[in-house]
Each structure stands twice: as structure tokens, then as C-alpha cells.
Amino acid sequence: MEKPYIGVMPLYDDEKGNYWIVPGYMKAVEEAGGIPVMLPLTADPAILRSMADTFDGFLFPGGHDVNPARYGEAISPLCGRVNDERDEMEISLFHRVIERDKPILGICRGIQLINVALGGSLYQDLPAQFPSSVKVVHKQAPPYDRGAHPVAIDKESPLYRLFGTESVMVNSKHHQGIKRLADRLLPIARAEDGLVEAVCMPDKTFVIAVQWHPELSYGADPLQFRLFVEFVNQCRK
């Protein structure tokens, strides 16, 4: 069977003006049997339409915070750097891809971007806006291939069918998270403090997004590698 081509959203270096990518995104897709391709940063409708038609699946990775203007809020001083070009491209491409029902995997910013694209909102800074009596380390120190906290997985979810367990340890490297969940998304994993850590779109063949970073832990944790294998397999169909 031919290897599927996976479009990977580009990261952007604000200081250097460079496109770049974390190697783990590309290596995990390649090791899972796909051909990862970093996409150009563009909002050109014709190019976005062509990419949505051409690639077999799409990976929405981490990076900049989503501009709070996208969910009707002013930027808090605690919000991190935003990149309007990424927001515009990724939201526009996301809608084109789900129209075609092609597989999507979202990671960190990816879960946040998907939630906002579908009408949800975010906590701009978890320590300030999401107080909890349950202590969860949402921003761990390196190394990032080790688990920082457990997440509880919904037994009726595709993640449970994939992992075969109701709880899994995940790494954690974020300061934002889902506040108001978009109506079209289902929460399929939560941290002990209640924060949504994974979602799916039940009306689509394969749209799964996670708040943790499997691209940094898949080599040490076979469960996390399964996520990439399933994503690539779905892209083959």
C-alpha cells in the first residue's frame, strides 16, 4: 500500500522570520508509515483548496497562542505570542479539510486551534484563570519524554479503543487550555483538575486532538506512538 502524504502546518520563528518544524512531528509520522510534508504559511484560497484536495491527512502542531480575538476576547498580558498568519491559514485550511472529511491530528496548539475554529474559547493562562484544588503540572520541566500527570480517558472514545486503558500518563508543556468546548467536539480525556486534554469530532471519520505532546514522547511510550500509527492508517483509506 502506498504511503500517505501528510501536510504538517509550519511553525514560525518571530525573530528570524523562518519557517521551521519540531523534528518529532516529522519523524513520528515517517516512522508510522507516512510521508510528512511541511506546508507553506499562506492564506491564499486557491493554494489552501489545492492542499486540502492533494494531501491525505493533516497535522496541526504546537506553537503560538491563538489570538484571543478569534474567540471574542482582548489579549491578556498573560497571553503568549500570537501569529495571525498561522491562525488565518490553519482555521481556513481546517474548515476545508473537514468538508472533505480527511483525517486530522491536532497537538497542543492544535487542540486549541480546532476548538476555536469550531466556536469554542480558551483560558489565556491556566495558572491565573483556572484555579483548582487539585494540583496538576501543566508545564513540566524537561525531559519531555516522561509523563507529568495522568489523564482519564472516556471508555466510549476512540482513544480508549486505541490505548485500551482508562488512564495514561502524558507529558505537559502548555499554559493555555480549552475553556468553552465547541459544540461539535466531544471531550474524550481530562486531567485530574477537569481540564479537557483530548477531543474528537464524532461526525467525522478521524479528527482527534490532544493537549499533550506525543511527538516528544512516542519513542519512550508505545501508547503515544499508536496515536501516530492510527492517524497514518486512517490517512491511507
Catalytic residue among 90, 215, 230, 235: 215
The phi, psi pair for 110, rounded to 5°, reads -60, -45
Give dist(CA 131, CA 125) in Å, integer: 10
Catalytic residue among 79, 213, 230, 235: 213
CA 92 vs CA 51, 88, 118, 183, 185: distances in Å: 11, 6, 11, 19, 18
Residue 108 designated active-site:
yes
Three-state secondary structure call for residue 229 = helix
Residue 88 designated active-site:
no
Give dist(CA 206, CA 199) in Å, integer: 11
231 within 8 A of 208, measured Cβ to Cβ: yes
Residue 175 designated active-site:
no
Neighbour count for residue 22 (Cβ, 10 Å): 17
Catalytic residue among 108, 138, 149, 230: 108
Phi-psi region of 3 (alpha: psi -120 to 50; beta: other; left: phi over 0): beta
* Amino acid (1-letter code) at residue 215: E
CA triple 114-117-123, angle to 5 deg = 70
Active site residues: 108, 213, 215
